[in-house]
A and B are shown apart, each in its own frame.
Chain A
């Protein structure tokens, strides 16, 4: 599916706010989704990840990713999933990217640490200087378990305590531990700094946990979350709220302009959300990691559709 030049309400909004369509800037981050398999099945997941998903990046494609890193000035490898740790090639990818001197970020659901064969993950992360972006939709048990499944909160808390004991989340600038909040329904997120203050206070007081930063993200109206919106009669109101909250200032720094997203099979996208929708990069640039071309991809047009209002609402969402 091609979307870069498709006229949508979002593309019209962009053109009303700036002189031309949304274009990429120099790619700073290679975001790689190495598979949709996950030990959880969160209600808000835009990829509908879960234990029954079989899509996984193979070793050959991982090597293509590493080759693209080695021939480009991209400094950050951002690994996501599913639960990326479930891919047997995950640790190989991390180690090889570190050998190339690249900063590695892993997006973890924390509860994965308590799955069979995964208990050494915190030490693996520590030994390889991997920065972590960890999902923790709230600091109270009921709210987390309602969205992510019973028992997930306690596992996540144990994981955070373990990471703290290894030096993560201490505000040193190394071994960063950042948490991700997302609203518990058809709601926009609050101001990030206010909520970060609450998270830090509550997690410290309740569990003696510290972390570096909190990212308050907007639920994208795609995947399982869109199904929820449609099923509960909230879709129209939610989309209206996103459109009303459009903030043109977010367009300068919106994440798709600074990264390229790689699917498990090597196909390239402007972001993980476009990946979920099958909305590939513009047809004038390479569409697969094996054909990676830093200069051309850094000057590509961004494919947009109306889900993009999720990234431009309020202060923006990353």
Chain B
């Protein structure tokens, strides 16, 4: 499993379009538009990208968005804080489901 994610495979991302270029090109267009500066800056979007990369635990995205953050003049302090936000929301998302357990238990309990 150590070689399951190969860094060089990120450069092969375009091959995903081989079997359905229409959908892949639609994805690329959407992706580039979503990442372009808008109300949010390029810098802010890079940090969001890093946080999401950790939340979805994508090694390629973690590499890419860590570099993007550093190239936007941010530091590991910025990235680590953002990862804590992502992790805290993930943790909170799990924890809030305890209410569902309470509801389910209440429904079954005397």
Tell me the A residues contacting B by CB distance below 8 Å.
138, 140, 142-143, 181, 183-185, 187-191, 194-195, 198, 216
Contacts and interface: CB of A to CB of B under 8 A. Distances in A.
Say what secondary structure dominates the interface of chain A: loop
Nearest to A195: B73
Given A187-B67, A194-B41, A194-B43, A181 B73 contact: yes
Contact of A183 (B41, B70, B77): B70
Nearest to A138: B75
Nearest to A181: B73
Contacts of B70: 183-185, 187
B71 A187 contact: yes
A185 B42 CA distance: 20
Contacts of A143: 75
B71 A183 contact: yes
Given A187-B67, A194-B41, A216 B73 contact: yes
A221 B95 CA distance: 49
A198 B73 contact: yes
B72 interface: yes
Say what secondary structure dominates the interface of chain B: helix
A189 B77 contact: no
A189 B73 contact: yes
B72 A190 contact: yes
B89 to A, nearest CB: 24
B41 A190 contact: no
Which of B42, B43, B70, B73 neighbours the largest number of chain A CB atoms within 10 Å of its CB?
A: B73
A184 B67 CA distance: 11
A142 B72 contact: no
A140 B75 contact: yes
Contacts of B75: 138, 140, 142-143, 184
Interface string B50-79: 000000000000000001001111010100
A190 B70 CA distance: 8
Contacts of B71: 183, 187-190
A153 to B, nearest CB: 13
Nearest to B67: A187
Contacts of A181: 73
Given A143-B75, A184-B75, A190-B43, 20 more contacts: A138-B75, A140-B77, A142-B75, A142-B77, A181-B73, A183-B71, A184-B70, A185-B70, A187-B67, A187-B70, A187-B71, A188-B71, A189-B71, A189-B73, A191-B42, A194-B41, A194-B42, A194-B43, A194-B72, A216-B73
Contacts of B41: 194
A234 to B, nearest CB: 11
Contacts of A188: 71
Contacts of A195: 73
A181 B72 CA distance: 12
A30 B82 CA distance: 45
B50 to A, nearest CB: 14
B77 A194 contact: no
A193 B72 CA distance: 11
